[in-house]
A and B are shown apart, each in its own frame.
Chain A
Amino acid sequence: MTIYQPQITWYMSASHRVTGGILAAVFYGGAIAYAIQGPLGLGLNSDALVAEIATLPTSLKLIGKFSLAFPFVYHSFNGVRHLIWDTGNALTLKGVYTTGYTVLGLSTISTLGLCLI
């Protein structure tokens, strides 16, 4: 597999799965931690989380924002691209590459926007 030429097609497909996996793992981890905190006495709630995050240095905050924003935005836009394919459109080589670059461009712009809020 390491000899396969890097191409936008399978790089974006793999990234779609990886970003989805990361986001889902974070979501599942948080939800499970909140669900089973009773007997463990963890004391998790939204106020504690917000207070914790407020104490972090700005650089860490930016890194955290970026590492959540980019996967979410990329996965969402690429998901729309998948749904467009499911309607039968853009299933040509040109369509795949055009929609691919559009998704990458939109993701970068949106991530920048989200990080700078």
Chain B
Amino acid sequence: MAQYIKGSVNEAVVLPPRDKVAGSYHWDFERLLSVTLIPLTIASVVKGGAHPITDLCLGVILPFHCHIGFDAMITDYFPHRRNPVLNRGFSWGLRAVTLIVLYGCYEFNTNDVGLTELVKKVLCCIIVITRCKKNTMP
């Protein structure tokens, strides 16, 4: 993890070009997704079952939220200045994987019961003390 100087000590540092999309808009978008997830999760819990709109929103917003989180980890642990090849490899790999996840969520929401219903089913089948009261009909 050595530091190095590009050129000589007498040359000014070249900063990366200013880019609102990669900068402050990215930050805004990240916080917007996080904030949206709060009422979305509460709505899923309160509704207690499948609902196409919450499933659709979850199936889009959750993968994006995870993607941004993983992207932050890549930027932190494999910075472009230090590991250019790994950084680019992981970044593109992450984009490919997120696309597959988006497709998988769409398929699951369409052909299977949907994300919220899955969580409810799994939780209700791991009952310990009480019984899940709502909608235990087949």
On chain B, the residues within 8 Å of A114 by CB distance are 123
Does residue A3 face the partner (Cβ distance < 8 Å to B)? no
Interface of B is mostly: helix
Interchain CB contact under 8 A, A27 and B101: yes
Least CB distance from A116 to B in Å reads 5
Tell which of B63, B69, B73 touches A31, judged by Cβ atoms closer than 8 Å: B63
Interchain CB contact under 8 A, B38 and A35: no
Stretch of A48-56, A89-97, A100-108 with 4 or more beta carbons under 8 angstroms from chain B: A48-56
Does residue A32 face the partner (Cβ distance < 8 Å to B)? yes
The residue of chain A having its C-beta at the shortest distance from the C-beta of B131 within the complex is A117
A22 to B81, CA, bound (A): 27
Query: Given A20-B69, A32-B104, A83-B35, A27 and B62 touching (CB < 8 A)?
Result: yes
B56-88 contacts to A, CB under 8 A, are 62-63, 66, 69-70, 73
- Size class of B's contact patch? 20 to 34
Interchain CB contact under 8 A, B112 and A46: yes
On chain A, the residues within 8 Å of B62 by CB distance are 27
A18 to B52, CA, bound (A): 30
Interface of A is mostly: helix
On chain B, the residues within 8 Å of A62 by CB distance are 126, 128
On chain A, the residues within 8 Å of B35 by CB distance are 83
Interchain CB contact under 8 A, B128 and A35: no
A65-82 contacts to B, CB under 8 A, are 65, 76, 79-80, 82
A58 to B129, CA, bound (A): 11
On chain A, the residues within 8 Å of B126 by CB distance are 53, 61-62, 64-65
- Select the residue from B69, B104, B108, B118 with max chain A CB neighbours within 10 A: B104
The residue of chain A having its C-beta at the shortest distance from the C-beta of B101 within the complex is A31
A54 to B112, CA, bound (A): 19
Interchain CB contact under 8 A, B103 and A35: yes
On chain B, the residues within 8 Å of A23 by CB distance are 66
Query: Given A17-B73, A45-B112, A83-B35, A35 and B125 touching (CB < 8 A)?
Result: no
Q: Please give 9 more A-B residue pairs, beta carbons under 8 A apart, in addition to A35-B107, A45-B112, A83-B31.
A: A27-B101, A28-B66, A28-B97, A31-B101, A34-B108, A53-B126, A61-B128, A83-B34, A117-B130
Show the binding face of A for B, using Cβ within 8 Å. Answer: 17, 20-21, 23-24, 27-28, 30-36, 45-46, 49-50, 53-54, 58, 61-62, 64-65, 76, 79-80, 82-83, 86, 114-117
